[in-house]
């Protein structure tokens, strides 16, 4: 294929070398004459093992050329990859000066091109930038329409400095957000030799994915370092602790707990966080991330309350049915349950609450949670109902906090078009019901 790469920094240079090695004709475009000169001479503009050989081989093959002319780069290719930098401004926002200037130049070049062209942005971009800013710019300047005379896509890159060539040829997946199927056809063919899945998604999802991959890496590093500081204060070997932690592939290094949902609770997570926060204070150790986990959890709980109260204010309603009370399904454990906390806050705000949880109702009869309910939350215990149908029929707001199959079936049969269903656990079937649906963060 005929490809052009705009921006010959780290990502652009690696992509140029690898795509040329794969047999494509590649033209590199940059405003820096030093980079252009180095590549033209078969030398790598970035220092990394394997790059000098990769660039030298690519240039010697005759499949690589360079220019500072944006028009030339676009005219002499069928697919363009945009890899210019998007550094931070002093206020933390993204500096999009280079990407905006280049997009304007690409729009001018598109105006003159008669053949269909595909543009793929690879620069890290704030979600929404491509569809809300860059595509409208391209259409306005070129006088052409995205999806008709040209296509636009977004491809996040996952190249680590120091192992970029290896990462290029062994990616976890190839993620492409594109405006239409024609762009996917071209890019799927281009990357067909890579040993990974080609994943189609929206442009906004692809933009966002890049950010949270990087942020997740930062969180993992920070977690390990805070563990190390705490372990050091308690005279424990942090490498042994983290080594054992990472051996657990069922919960620790896995997809467990990685799906958005409601706040956490129960008898372990909150108290163990508090215990380590106290140990940090004892030893004068700073753990900013771990120290704010509980507050972040409370913010998620607050969001559910805010959404329920907003509906109350808008519609003048007060009757709430809550499906679930224990801290997670399949247990009667109410200790530090976020649903108990939400119930208490709703009562405090004047809502008329009724609660259904078959596990907790049974435990009240058997006495497993009897003392806790009677001594700690008697006001909520009195609001529990074993009659699900009338509870749903009388409610103005139904809060789904657990996936009880019988409760969801009854809700589907008995919900009303004027009811709000507030979904805290992301149950897709609730979106199809004849009621107003509102997710917690979806």
Kindly tell me the sign of the dihedral angle through the C-alpha atoms of 193, 194, 200, 206.
Answer: negative
Query: pLDDT, tens digit, for every residue of 313-350?
Result: 999 999 999 999 999 888 888 889 999 999 999 999 99
Specify the pLDDT at position 248: 97
Structure tokens at 357: 């949880």
Q: Evaluate if residue 23 carries a pLDDT over 60.
A: yes
Binding residues: 30, 35, 86, 124, 158-161, 210, 257-261, 265, 271, 328, 335
E strand segments, 45-99: 64-67, 79-82
Whole-number pLDDT of residue 335:
84
Per residue, the 3-state secondary structure of 338-407, as one string, reads: HHHHHHHHHHHCCCEEEEECHHHHHHHHHCCCHHHHHHHCHHHHCCECCCHHHHHHHCCEEEECCCCHHH
What residues does each domain of the chain span? Answer: 2-204, 296-439
pLDDT of residue 53: 96
Domains 2-204 and 296-439 share a fold: yes
Q: Is 60 exceeded by the pLDDT of residue 365? A: no
Which pLDDT value is given to residue 368? 54
* pLDDT over 70 (residue 367): no
Out of 18, 213, 246, 268, the active site residue is: 268
> What does the pLDDT read at residue 373?
74
- Return the DSSP state at 222: H
Q: What is the mean pLDDT of residues 369-380?
A: 75
Render pLDDT for 124-161 as a digit per residue (tens, 0 to 9). 999 999 999 999 999 999 999 999 999 999 999 988 88
* Residue 85, Ramachandran bin (φ over 0: left; ψ between -120 and 50: alpha; else beta): beta
The architecture that CATH gives domain 2-204 is 3-Layer(aba) Sandwich (3.40)
Q: Where does 296-439 sit in CATH, by number?
A: 3.40.50.720
Residue 364's pLDDT band (boundaries 50, 70, 90)?
A: low
Confidence band, pLDDT 50/70/90 cuts, at residue 259: very high
Q: Is the pLDDT of residue 17 over 90?
A: yes
Q: Can you give the pTM of this predicted structure? A: 0.90
pLDDT for 362: 59
Radius of gyration of the chain (CA): 28
pLDDT tens column, 399-435: 999 999 999 999 999 999 999 999 999 999 999 999 9
213 included as an active-site residue: no
- Cα dist from 102 to 242, 305, 377, whole Å: 45, 45, 62
pLDDT reading at 352 higher than 60 = yes
Numbered residues of the known binding site for substrate: 158-161, 210, 257-261, 265, 328
Model pLDDT, residue 330: 84
**Top mean-pLDDT range of 135-144, 162-171, 356-365, 404-413:** 135-144
pLDDT at 285 over 80: yes
């Amino acid at each position: 294929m005929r490809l052009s790469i705009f921006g010959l920094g780290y990502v652009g240079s690696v992509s140029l070398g690898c795509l040329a090695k794969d047999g494509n004709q590649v033209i590199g475009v940059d405003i820096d004459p030093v980079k252009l000169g180095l590549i033209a001479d078969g030398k790598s503009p970035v220092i990394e093992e394997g790059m000098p050989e990769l660039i030298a081989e690519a240039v010697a093959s005759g499949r690589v050329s360079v220019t500072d002319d944006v028009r030339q780069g676009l005219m002499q290719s069928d697919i363009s990859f945009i890899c210019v930098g998007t550094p931070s401004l002093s206020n933390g926002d993204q500096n999009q000066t280079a990407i905006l200037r280049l997009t304007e130049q690409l729009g001018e070049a598109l105006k003159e091109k008669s053949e269909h062209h595909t543009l793929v942005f690879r620069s890290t971009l704030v979600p929404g930038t491509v569809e809300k800013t860059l595509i409208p710019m391209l259409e306005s300047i070129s006088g052409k329409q995205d999806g008709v005379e040209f296509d636009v896509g977004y491809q996040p890159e996952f190249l680590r400095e120091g192992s970029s060539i290896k990462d290029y040829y062994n990616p976890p997946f190839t993620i492409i957000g594109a405006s239409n199927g024609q762009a996917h056809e071209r890019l799927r063919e281009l990357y067909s030799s890579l040993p990974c899945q080609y994943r189609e998604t929206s442009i906004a999802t692809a933009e966002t994915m890049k950010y949270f991959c990087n942020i997740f890496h930062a969180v993992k590093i920070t977690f390990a370092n805070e563990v190390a500081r705490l372990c050091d204060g308690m005279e424990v070997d942090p490498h042994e602790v983290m080594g054992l932690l990472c051996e657990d592939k069922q919960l620790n290094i896995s997809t467990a707990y990685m799906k958005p949902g409601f706040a956490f609770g129960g008898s372990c997570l909150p108290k163990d966080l508090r215990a380590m926060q106290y140990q940090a204070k004892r030893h004068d150790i700073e753990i900013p991330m771990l120290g704010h986990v509980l507050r972040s959890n409370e913010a998620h709980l607050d969001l559910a309350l805010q959404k329920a109260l907003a509906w109350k204010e808008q519609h003048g309603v007060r009757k709430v049915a809550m499906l679930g009370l224990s801290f997670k399904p399949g247990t009667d454990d109410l200790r530090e349950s976020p649903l108990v906390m939400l119930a208490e806050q709703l009562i405090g705000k004047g809502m008329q609450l009724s609660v259904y949880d078959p596990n907790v109702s049974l435990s009240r009869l058997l006495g497993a949670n009897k003392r806790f309910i009677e001594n700690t939350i008697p006001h909520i215990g009195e609001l529990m109902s074993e009659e699900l149908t009338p509870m749903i029929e009388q409610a103005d707001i139904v809060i789904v906090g657990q996936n009880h199959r019988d409760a969801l079936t009854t809700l589907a049969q008995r919900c009303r078009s004027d009811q709000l269903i507030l979904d805290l656990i992301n149950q897709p079937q609730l979106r199809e019901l004849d009621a107003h649906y509102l997710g917690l963060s979806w």
